[in-house]
Amino acid sequence: MKIQTDASTKTGEPLQVKPGMMKSLIFHGNEKISLDDRPIPKPGPGEAVIKVTLTTICGTDVHIVKGEYPVRLGLTLGHEAVGRIHEIGSAINGYKVGDRVLVGAITPCGQCNYCLGGSLSQCGGVMGGWKLGNTMDGVQAQYALIPYAQANMARIPDELTDEQVILLADIASTGLSASESAQVKIGDSVAVFAEGPIGLCATAGAKLRGAGQIFAIDSNPVRLEKALNMGAHHAINVSQQDPIEEILRLTGRRGVDVAIEALGQQETFENALRVLRPGGTLSSLGVYSGKLAIPLQPFAAGLGDHKIVTTLCPGGKERMRRMMELVLHHRIDLTSLLTHKFTFDKIVEAYTLFSKQSDGVLKVSVRVAR
Ligand SMILES: [Zn+2]
Ligand SMILES: [Zn+2]
């Protein structure tokens, strides 16, 4: 039997599913993922189910697939979704079936002590705001259950396409937060270490916050070129130049006010510290593994008044609304980061391309439905 789940689904190969079932990208263990049949979820109180129209793949998803971040077997992956409301559970107000919504990667409850204390991403405990594709089934599926839907479904303005908003769910919210957490002031100098998708968004964020000089540091000339488009003034290729010497030279030996780490490695963390002025802020977005050591000399043996701040992607519908304001009013445009487009039936191929970082890929869009 061949069923199109929606008459308007015209992308790619029609996926064959039985009534009440859907296709989901399932994690089966190290390097094993497949598109499997799963029942379409039913929303309980406070929940909603969206029909996913567009999703993307995150570096974190790749870590999961490689076995570097543990999740349960059989989990549906993915935490970035645009969709239309398919079914609404009880105790949800102000939404109707068919509404187009953006759901953040982080879906806080909005009611626990952490949330009410302002730490939405740490909802219920450390990293607890990250539920989708982590502690519950994610959104790389034809339908997805959204927890605490009242707090997490941000209505998308009609003027904006799915492609214009999909990257706001995670990398833009994360990237922009680096300068917010560091409280970048007008005229601050900012260095961004590593210009992957999150670093590029961090570069855009430094510009939005009114930074003066912005330095982009990477080894990939294409990414450095992109960083200049996102607002950087100096592109420093670490395979040709010593980034520390170059930044100290360009700041008159003063160092930068804010150094953003957007890779999660000892070397970039250390370099960020080495270019930071006394009293400056190291804003860390990277996910580290193993051990992270602080070198004493650039840390002034602990007496340099340095601040080190870390941020997990801010989520919730108000954050998403603000992110969409930036796109709606032409303050940021992230569509050029979507370098490769796939349809949902090809999502496993999309994972392969994205995880190998082949063909100059930055981010992929995966079209699930129209
Ligand atoms: Zn992510
Ligand atoms: Zn909470």
What is the per-residue pLDDT for 327?
98
Q: What is the pLDDT of residues 94-109, one digit of tens each?
A: 999 999 999 999 999 9
**Cα 117 to ligand 2 centre (Å):** 9
**Cα 113 to ligand 2 centre (Å):** 7
Q: What is the pLDDT of residues 228-249, one digit of tens each?
A: 999 999 999 999 999 999 999 9
**Cα 353 to ligand 1 centre (Å):** 17
Nearest partner of 156 among 90, 97, 103, 222, judged by Cα? 103
**Which of the ligands is closest to the CA of residue 139?**
1
What is the per-residue pLDDT for 16?
85
Q: For residues 104 and 316, is the Cβ–Cβ distance under 8 A?
A: yes
Taking the C-alpha atoms of residue 229 and residue 210, their distance in angstroms, rounded to an integer, is 16
- Tell me what percent of the residues of the chain surpass a pLDDT of 90: 94
**Cα 114 to ligand 2 centre (Å):** 6
**Cα 125 to ligand 2 centre (Å):** 8
Q: For residues 202 and 260, is the Cβ–Cβ distance under 8 A?
A: yes
Kindly give, in sequence order, each residue whose CB lies less than 8 Å from that of residue 364, ignoring residues fewer than 6 positions away: 56, 57, 338, 339, 340, 341, 342, 350, 353, 354
- Return the C-alpha torsion angle 168, 320, 70, 125, nearest 10: 150
What is the per-residue pLDDT for 8?
38
Q: What is the pLDDT of residues 166-211, one digit of tens each?
A: 999 999 999 999 999 999 999 999 999 999 999 999 999 999 999 9
**Cα 255 to ligand 1 centre (Å):** 31
Per the prediction, the chain carries an average pLDDT of 95
**Which of the ligands is closest to the CA of residue 151?**
2
**Cα 137 to ligand 1 centre (Å):** 14
Q: What is the pLDDT of residues 131-140, one digit of tens each?
A: 999 999 999 9
**Cα 60 to ligand 1 centre (Å):** 5
What is the per-residue pLDDT for 7?
37
What is the per-residue pLDDT for 290?
83
**Cα 50 to ligand 1 centre (Å):** 19
* 3, pLDDT greater than 90: no
pTM: 0.94
* 257, pLDDT greater than 80: yes
For β-strands 48-56 and 81-88, DSSP reports them as antiparallel
**Cα 319 to ligand 2 centre (Å):** 15
For residues 13-40, give the mean pLDDT.
94
**Cα 354 to ligand 2 centre (Å):** 32
Q: Collect residues with CB below 5 Å from ion ligand 1.
A: 58, 60, 170
**Cα 84 to ligand 1 centre (Å):** 21
Q: For residues 25 and 35, is the Cβ–Cβ distance under 8 A?
A: yes
What is the per-residue pLDDT for 13?
57
What is the per-residue pLDDT for 6?
37
**Cα 89 to ligand 2 centre (Å):** 19
What is the per-residue pLDDT for 5?
36
**Cα 133 to ligand 1 centre (Å):** 10
